[in-house]
Structure 1
Amino acid sequence: MAQTDAQKSTIVRAKVPRTLTLTVRTLDRIAPRLVARNALRMWCTPTHARPGEHVPGGVSWRLADGTVGETWGTGPRVYLVHGWGGHRAQLASFVVPLTSAGFQVIAYDAPSHGDSGPGALGRRRSSLIELMDAIETVVAAHGTAHAIVGHSLGAAAVALAVLDGTQAGRLVLVAPPAEPVEYTRQFARALGFSEGTRTLLLERMEVLAHRPLDDLMIPARAAGRADLPPLLVVADRSDKETDPADGERIAEVWPDAEVRMSEGLGHRRILRDADTVAAVVAYL
């Protein structure tokens, strides 16, 4: 199956070529396992946004596993985590305000993203589990997190890493998906394969993750927990990639959570909005 921009952003909303949809529907009737296998490969292939603007004054570093990042300033550490197909420069607007407020800022590219090397799945492939593991690896290398700020699927990775035991004083989740695996429903509809094949895809995803997929459902994991750090959820009602209601669902069950909802900023421009950045810095 050919690769398409609809393979995954966070929610699949991009248009898929009709020829691809027809091909998938035909294969789905005669070879559903083949469709599921190729769908998993597409699901695990991030779109590759090239690293953008460079933020002056940072110190570049590279870990032994190939993870590349930069550090700015001194003080309590704030980690910035980009989303699927992203790179560290997408959160550049937070660097100067945070360092001016007395924080040390640490940002990096996840495996198979930006300048970092490939992860366990090889070149140009990654997974939510790898995004989660990268957070733990970077924090272990650089020191205790005063806070972690994550965007999109990176925000889900932050929440799940903390639910798995990563320590942080505060969290900020920008445009987080509450149950990332549920987005396979839109993925299946966009490509044109059946619910039965989606089930086969989920089975393959569970084998790849080495854990039950229910473990990746943030509200269910957070409900009833009293040991989680304070949380600020930031979302925009015009977001076309992540349902803004997902952030509210997370906040409803998180023991100490606030929600900041904006209008008209969408999925990525929210990262550059001065009022949003100021609100996050003030929260931290």
Structure 2
Amino acid sequence: MKFSLWLPANLPWSDLLAAATHAADAGWRGVWLEDHFMDNTDEPNDGARGECLTQLTALAATVPGIRIGSMVLGNTYRHPGVVAKQGAAISDISQGQFVLGVGAGWQENEHRAFGIEYGDVPSRIRWFREALAIWKGLRDENFVDFSGERYTLEHASLNPKPHPSLPILIGGKGEKVMPRLVAEYADEWNFWSTPDQYAPKNEIFTAALEKAGRDPKSLWRTTQALTFQQPDGAEKAARMGRPAIGGTPQQLVDTMAAYAAGGVDEFILPLTSLSDVAKINDLGDRFLAEVAAHVS
């Protein structure tokens, strides 16, 4: 199993650079940033929030030798053709280390605040399907003509092409449409989970790959959960309202083994609620030394 780090998007650039540089030196496989314009909390909502693609571009130019990715870009925020151009540029700057993580978009308050059309869930899924076709088409073909409900491309090209490729990661856990989208368009797949949640969901997505005639091993599978590395961490995790894990280092090693048995290729440690670089580095180092180093 591989391990990556999810860094806070609210850090000023000097702190984000320091945390990402430390992560690269420490041996993490990659670092990820979320794509939101504001917190999903009650008003007033004026907390710090960086812009994902700008931050990733800066990291691509300054922190070599580590994968960087978006976890995940909300499709509704930008035209997919423009995102493809941005992604290709970041891929080139990072020497092929960029992962284009994408999702349909879900956070209503930032759509309202920034005047972005939100739509209902079926609409956002249809728009996302169109965007996926555009991203894959521009990446893999010389020219793309596309006429859809929301997007239109006329003889568009992605030149220069990504270097050497541009993996597409889809973030999503829906069981009706999302497995088909992942099977058709994704190189990687991600959703929040505990081991008990991951295994049955993975079976559904694997079945979709097989139905599409695709080798299940061709999909890289990642997950994350709030992580409490402390003696009472399991009890604390149980009280969370979202996927969470915890316990002693050995308990977390066992949890990672359960993830691997369920089909996970890579665990992403989210430290997105922290703002102190020293604490981010310390928690990350402890996880690598006490947990990741003992997982096969």
TM-based fold match above 0.5: no
TM class, shorter-length: 0.3 to 0.5
TM-score, normalised via structure 2 length: 0.34
